[in-house]
Amino acid sequence: MSSMTKPSTITVVPPEAAPKAATARKSRVDPLYYFFLFPSLAIFTLAVTLPAVLGFVYSFTNSVGFGDFEFIGIRNFIAVFRDEGILGAYGFTLAFSLVTVVVVNILAFLLALGLTSRVRFRTALRTVFVIPMVISGIVIAFVFQYLFSNSLPLLGKGMGIEPLASSILANPDLAWLAIVFVTAWQSIPSAMLIYIAGLLTVPAEVYEASSIDGATPWHNLRHITLPLVAGYAVINTVLGFKNYLNAYDIIVGLTDGGPGVATRSVAMAIFRGFEGGDYAYQMANAVVFFLISIAIALIQLRFTRGKGGIA
């Protein structure tokens, strides 16, 4: 697993500070540092790497999760790629993640702009906007499921708005919008906080100087703010994509993958299969899923590399 992340393309850490530290103590490493690092490496290896390797091995078996099993080669992988249901789940999951990333980033950025501008009640407003972040996905999904299927149609009927009169969760073409909405509702706050952190790093003097030069607010946004937050957008996109690809509890609570199989995510397929004793097969699916997740992350980082540089 580590080999996949080693390539230096992921220069996640700015190397600026490093050289200084290096020259200071190039000769020896205080053994205490190993002691500092060791607990992390140890629990990580035992609790993640080892299980992941075991899971990988299981994907070549017919194990149902307990009892004896035998190795069946790559049959599971062949079946995964021939499985319409699973391919459909991949399609849905990728499309849903893409849309959600865009929606979340735009709204979070606008909220962050608003909350760092000269508004009143800034602290109170920010406090309210962050609340969705602290509530569990399952609970959020159940509350919205109730609103979508009971309250909203009732409201729609009452106000004579026809499209609202039936639940959008029941519409195979629109149910995914509800999932995007609720997922965005929950994940906008953390993206917003990251954007706020980014916006606050611009010294006010920069804007002041700029307005003395007669720049319009639009000019400021376009030439100062946007380039500046590009890096934060990368963080939000990579983290967001990773979370949305694993979408599970909100979908279970809202549509349970329906109507039909219209909103069945990969994670759902994996967990349902596991509960049904289809363990090894879903393990193969999960391995494929992991490779795709890593690939997407690498593509994003590669793709956005130049972008940040321009600024």
Partner 1 sequence: MLPPLTPAGTRVSRRTFLAAAGGALAAFGLAGCSPAGTRPTITFHQSKPEAVPYFRDLAAKFTESQDRFRVLHDMATNLSASFVRSSPPDLGCLNYNLEMARFMERGALSDLSDLPEAASIRDDVLDLTNWYPTYAGRTSVIPYSVMAASVIYNRRIFAEHGLTVPTTWDELIEVCERLKAAGVTPIYGTFRDPWTVAQGLFDYTVGGMVDVRGFYKKMHEIGEDVGPESEVSFQKTMLEPVQRMVQLTKYVNPDASSRGYGDGNTAMAQGQAAMYFQGPWAFGEIEKAGTDLDLGTFPLPMTADPADLKVRVNIDLSLWVPEVSNGQEGARAFLQYLLQPEVQNPYNAKFLGFGTVKDAPPVTDPRIVEMQKYYDEGRFYMGASQFIPNTIPAANYIQSIIGGADPEGTLRRMDADWARLAFRA
Partner 2 sequence: MSNATRTVPAEPTTSGPITAGPAAGKRRIRTGQERTNWPATAILAACTLAVLVPLYVTISMAFKTTGQAVDGNAFSLPSPLSFDSFVQAWTLTNFPRGFAISVFVSVTAVIGEIVVSALAAYAIVRNWDRRLFRWSFFYLLAAMFIPFPVVALPQIQLTGLVGLDNPLGVAILHIVFALAFNTMLFTAFLRSIPLELEESMRMDGAGTWQVFWRLIFPLLGPMSATVGIFAFIASWNDFMMPSLIISDPEMQTIPVLQKIFQTQFSNSYNVAFASYLMAMAPAIVVYLFTQRWVMSGLTQGAVK
* 238-267 residues near partner 2, rule: CB under 8 A: 238, 242, 245-246, 248-249, 253, 256, 267
16 scored as a contact of partner 2 (CB under 8 A): yes
Q: How far is CA 256 from CA 136, 261, 270, in A?
A: 17, 9, 14
The residue count for binding partner 1 (CB under 8 A) is: 53
- What distance lies between CA 289 and its chain's CA centroid? 14
Q: Which long-range contacts (CB under 8 A, 24 or more apart) does 291-300 make?
A: 292/90, 292/245, 293/242, 293/245, 294/4, 294/5, 296/241, 296/245, 297/238, 297/241, 297/242, 298/7, 298/9, 298/10, 300/234, 300/237, 300/238, 300/241
102: nearest Cα among 260, 273, 212, 241:
241
CB of 100 to partner 2, least distance (A): 16
HSE-CB at 214 with a 13 A cutoff on CA atoms is: 0
210 scored as a contact of partner 1 (CB under 8 A): no
Structure tokens at 176: 């995914």
Q: From partner 1, partner 2, none, which one binds at residue 159 (CB under 5 to 8 Å depending on kind)?
A: none
117 scored as a contact of partner 1 (CB under 8 A): no
Contact with partner 1 (CB under 8 A) among 10, 18, 42, 197: 42
Q: From partner 2, partner 1, none, which one binds at residue 177 (CB under 5 to 8 Å depending on kind)?
A: none
270: nearest Cα among 256, 284, 252:
284
Interatomic CA distance for residues 229 and 34, integer angstroms: 36
Interatomic CA distance for residues 248 and 97, integer angstroms: 12
305 scored as a contact of partner 2 (CB under 8 A): yes
- Which span sits near partner 1 by CB under 8 A: 9-17, 83-91, 134-142, 289-297? 83-91
HSE-CB at 87 with a 13 A cutoff on CA atoms is: 8
| Choice between 78 and 208, CB closer to partner 2 | 208
294 scored as a contact of partner 2 (CB under 8 A): yes
Contact with partner 1 (CB under 8 A) among 94, 234, 235, 262: 262
| Choice between 81 and 303, CB closer to partner 2 | 303
Structure tokens at 85: 């249901």
CB of 231 to partner 1, least distance (A): 39
159 scored as a contact of partner 2 (CB under 8 A): no
- What distance lies between CA 141 and its chain's CA centroid? 17
125 scored as a contact of partner 2 (CB under 8 A): yes
14 scored as a contact of partner 2 (CB under 8 A): yes
Contact with partner 1 (CB under 8 A) among 52, 55, 56, 83: 83
- Which span sits near partner 1 by CB under 8 A: 78-86, 118-126, 183-191, 201-209? 78-86
Structure tokens at 215: 């720049």
* 61 SS3 class: strand
- Which span sits near partner 1 by CB under 8 A: 24-32, 98-106, 239-247, 258-266? 258-266
Helix runs in 171-278, H state only: 175-199, 204-212, 217-220, 226-245, 249-254, 266-275
71 scored as a contact of partner 1 (CB under 8 A): yes
257 scored as a contact of partner 1 (CB under 8 A): yes
- Which span sits near partner 1 by CB under 8 A: 77-85, 99-107, 136-144, 200-208? 77-85
Binding site for partner 1 (CB under 8 A): 42-43, 46, 50, 54, 57, 61-72, 75-76, 78-79, 82-85, 149-150, 153, 165-167, 169-172, 256-262, 264, 272-278, 281-282
